[in-house]
Amino acid sequence: MKGMSTCTSDHKFGRHKPAPTFFMALFVALQPGIALAAGVIEETQKQNTDWTAIIMFTIFVGASLWITKWAAKRTRSAADFYTAGGGITGFQNGLAIAGDFMSAASFLGISAAVMATGFDGLIYAIGFQVGWPLITFMLAERLRNLGRFTFADVVAYRLQQVPVRIFAASGTLVVVLFYLIAQMVGAGQLIKLLFGLDYHYAVVIVGLLMMAYVLFGGMTATTWVQIIKACLLLGGASFMAFMVMAQYGFSPEKLFTAAVGIKKSAAIMGPGGFVKDPVSAISLGIALMFGTAGLPHILMRFFTVPDAREARKSVLWATTWIGYFYILTFIIGFGAIVFVSTNPEFLDANGVLRGGGNMAAVHLANAIGGNIFLGFMSAVAFATILAVVAGLTLSGASAVAHDLYASALKKGTASSSEELKISKLTTVALGIIAMFLGIVFEKQNVAFMVSLAFAIAASANFPALILSVLWKGCTTRGAVAGGFTGLLAALVMTMLSDAVWVATLGNPPGSAPFPYSSPAIFSMPLAFLCIWVVSICDQSPQAQKEREAFADQKIRSETGLGAFKPTAH
């Protein structure tokens, strides 16, 4: 305790205002985990520049641009652009998936939730984590064996190409756009705070960097940016957790006992009322767990490995790193109870945490490492944004170029060079749209957009994907009708919930027609039911052919016979 107190006193809170303010803006804008409980984003003011953060930020951007230059030499075909030629190892892909999935926002959000509610704060971490065994045992191997570039390849394997790919591209683009808006708003606030630039210029800078990475480096550059980001985030969080545990002789029991003593209640060590009602709690769990298995930029990563064995290995490594990361956030949250909530330097005159409750991990980083460590975590946060945005842009480009242009419009006759050209044009278009929407939504509540992305992934993409692979009776009409039903249901219910109806549209509190925080508990079963009913009722000759083709699909999905081979370099 004494050592930590010394460290804290050496790094006064007042000297580090820019970095903590950045974290506050970033957290509210980007939260993929606690988006459902977020408030309205407030406009941040330009701050004095944090030169430590800027130096580390510049080093990262320079290193990632060098990676892009290196990757550009290896990106010669559509396969290279979408999947890095299928030459990423299972270990590398596992780290990249972890880098694509973990975020500085969930790091801050979960640790803040643990500080505020103790054990209950883990609801999001558990929700995200339990989605991965589902992917491991039911999807990873089949995705790699049946698909080539997108999850639509898997759904359309025995079904009609055009309607299935139109649906899949629609679901992908909706998820990607909602995700991109939240990422761009947060990224713009970050650059605005670090450099003192106007918000509009900040958004344009981030958009241009994003386009450069994806346009020239494709999946190879995106993968290595994600790997580096995962290592930085895991390293930073590990250091924080290590320093917290060191103060208690690496005894979790002593740490928890101290936290209970400070909170003056053992209730923080048990479940409570973190989510307002059971229906919202179950719905949130469904969205987090099954949404993970329906996110297009996550599913796309399984096509970057050479075979199904490496796909399974990549999920194993991803689950390991993500699980370890969430254990760290738990330790950091309890460390914040002990070292932040008791330190007057981090509290205002009313005894409330400076900068808001979401600043718990930031103040703990300040106490442990001072300005240099805050600068490092700022660079990590920006790395997080680039990694996620690049992955999203790439999955959106593949949906347009591969699913809509090459497969639906050209009926498979487009050359690799034509498809690659369309992919790059789509990347530019998505970059421009993302910059425009980032500017438009500067002062809006964008938190619901990420939660909506998870709900749509669980309600539209996942039911169509899992039933097309595992159920012989699934037909084109069923998959398309059910997928669009889930997508529209999730959209409508979210628009009628408090997050949009009240917080964004300005209607009176309590007037929202949909009373729950997440629509997944209603929209996902509705999608499954619609797929089942329409498929059962579909007795057309085409439907019969699709059912007969299931045996061949099953053999390929489980053995890999006929699966696409990696591109040789």
Q: How many degrees, rounded to 5, is the angle at CA 400 between CA 174 and CA 88?
A: 95
Entry pTM: 0.81
- Token output for 117: 């509610």
DSSP 188-254: HHHHHHHH---HHHHHHHHHHHHHHIIIIIHHHHHHHHHHHHHHHHHHHHHHHHHHHHHTTTT-HHH
The DSSP 8-state label assigned to residue 347 in this structure reads B
Q: How far apart are CA 513 and CA 497, in angstroms?
A: 7
Per-residue pLDDT tens digits for 65-80 = 888 888 888 777 777 8
3-state secondary structure (DSSP) of residue 114: helix
Q: Taking the CA of residue 498 as centre, how many other CA atoms within 13 Å lie in the half-sphere pointing to its CB?
A: 14
Q: What angle (nearest 5°) sits at the alpha carbon of residue 401, between those of residues 318 and 214?
A: 55
Of 145-149, 204-208, 293-297, where does mean pLDDT reach its minimum? 145-149
DSSP sequence for 298-317: HHGGGGSSSSHHHHHHHHHH
> Can you tell me the distance from the alpha carbon of 71 to that of 190, in angstroms, rounded to the nearest whole number?
27
SS3 category, 270: coil
Half-sphere exposure of 108 (CA within 13 A, CB side): 32
Task: Answer whether 171's CB lies under 8 Å from 155's CB.
Answer: no
- CA dist 512 → 285, 504, 524 (Å): 22, 11, 21
pLDDT in tens, 447-491: 667 777 888 899 999 999 999 999 999 999 999 999 999 999 999
Which range in 314-328, 365-379, 493-507 is most confidently predicted, on average pLDDT?
Answer: 314-328
At residue 3 the predicted structure's pLDDT band, cuts being 50, 70 and 90, is very low
Give the distance, in angstroms, between the CA of residue 243 and the centroid of all CA atoms in the same chain: 28
> What was the pLDDT predicted at 416?
82
pLDDT higher at 493 or 376: 493
Give the Cα separation of 144 and 135 in Å (integer): 12
In whole angstroms, how far apart are CA 80 and each of 169, 298, 417, 454, 536? 20, 17, 11, 28, 40
Specify which of 273-277, 376-380, 501-505 reaches the highest per-range mean pLDDT.
501-505
Residue 425 buriedness (CB in 10 A; 0-12 / 13-18 / 19+): middle
Mean of the per-residue pLDDT values of the chain: 81
Quote the longest CA-to-CA distance of the chain.
77
From 59-73, 147-161, 441-455, the region with the lowest mean pLDDT: 441-455
Are the beta carbons of 289 and 132 closer than 8 angstroms? no
Query: At a CB cut-off of 8 Å and minimum separation 6, what does 67 contact?
Result: 217, 221, 224, 225, 228
- Convert the pLDDT of each residue in 4-22 to its tens digit: 444 433 433 333 444 444 4
